[in-house]
Amino acid sequence: MFNRKPVVTLENPTVEKAAESIKEAVSKRKAIILVGNCWVDYKGRASSKLESGERIVIIKKDGSVLIHRPFGYEPVNWQPAGCLFQTSIRGETLQVRASRKKPSESVKISFDKVFVLSSMNLIDRGEFSLHASELDMQKAILLDPSLLEEGFKPISYEKKVEPGFVDVYGVDREGRLVVVEIKRRTAGRNAALQLAKYVDFVKTVTRRELRGVLVAPHLAKGVQTLLTCLGLEFKALEPKNCADILRKSETRKLGDFF
């Protein structure tokens, strides 16, 4: 399984050797890690200058570039995916320029010493999932409808209505229809207005009594007033709680409910 050699590392290469290696790696769509002493000039949406120092530079196969100092979460300089690269030797220095258009900008990195240069063919097809998404909150409410309120019974979810899709649709303990709109973060005016549109639409297709409930961790300023004006309700629900519910019920399938 690990017989292939995905990483080739050069220690203390000459700048000439490094330039050659970078050109090859870029052309073969490999990822590159460069560690060495460098300085950086950026021109584009803004412009910046970084004086000489030892840093970590990552060039990815999609043409993105990251220049990291030995401290700090953010890269000091960078370039998003889609860059074209020019690698050259200028006297005693290795120069790598990453440019893109729209917006037109380029980062020029100059090395006078490379400590390590790794060229890598990394395989990464692993799926990334961020839990407690809006969908997770929806699933959690379907799994445990009391998260919305006692006696709530879901009828369907992602139900098509004219303006879009209702997140959850159900009946409360007194038999009234309930339209639920879910936001995983603080709900703003848009969320309230969206819910209002859904409720208005459902009103055109039924004569039953109807409630609209906005579910979110918090309401933005003034949205409670707006909800009241629109005759809608708010139910506070933390995405984290939903994630916990889902974790506890991982064995059960959502399909069981319908």
Partner DNA sequence: TGCTAAATCTCGAAC
Partner DNA sequence: GTTCGAGGTTTAGCA
Q: Which positions touch its own copies (CB under 8 A)?
A: 2, 6-7, 9, 11, 31, 33, 35, 37, 39, 45-56, 58, 60-62, 64, 66, 68-73, 76, 78-81, 113, 115-116, 118, 120, 122-132, 239-240, 243
Which partner, DNA, its own copies, none, binds residue 6 by CB below 5 to 8 Å per kind? its own copies
**Tokens encoding 95:** 């120069």
Give the binding range for DNA (CB under 7 A) out of 1-9, 44-52, 138-146, 202-210: 44-52
* Cross-strand bridge partners of residue 178: 170, 211
Q: Report the candidate in 258, 198, 256, 189 with the shortest Cα–Cα distance to residue 229.
A: 189
Which parts of 169-188 interact with DNA (CB under 7 A)? 184-188
Query: C-beta of 147: minimal distance to DNA in Å?
Result: 18
> Considering the complex, what minimum distance in angstroms separates the CB of residue 109 from its own copies?
12
DSSP single-letter state for residue 224: H
Judged by CB, which is closer to its own copies: 178, or 183? 183
Is 53 a binder of DNA (CB under 7 A)? no
DSSP 203-221: HHH--S-EEEEEEES-B-T
Cβ within 8 Å of residue 120, ≥6 positions away: 6, 7, 8, 30, 31, 32, 33
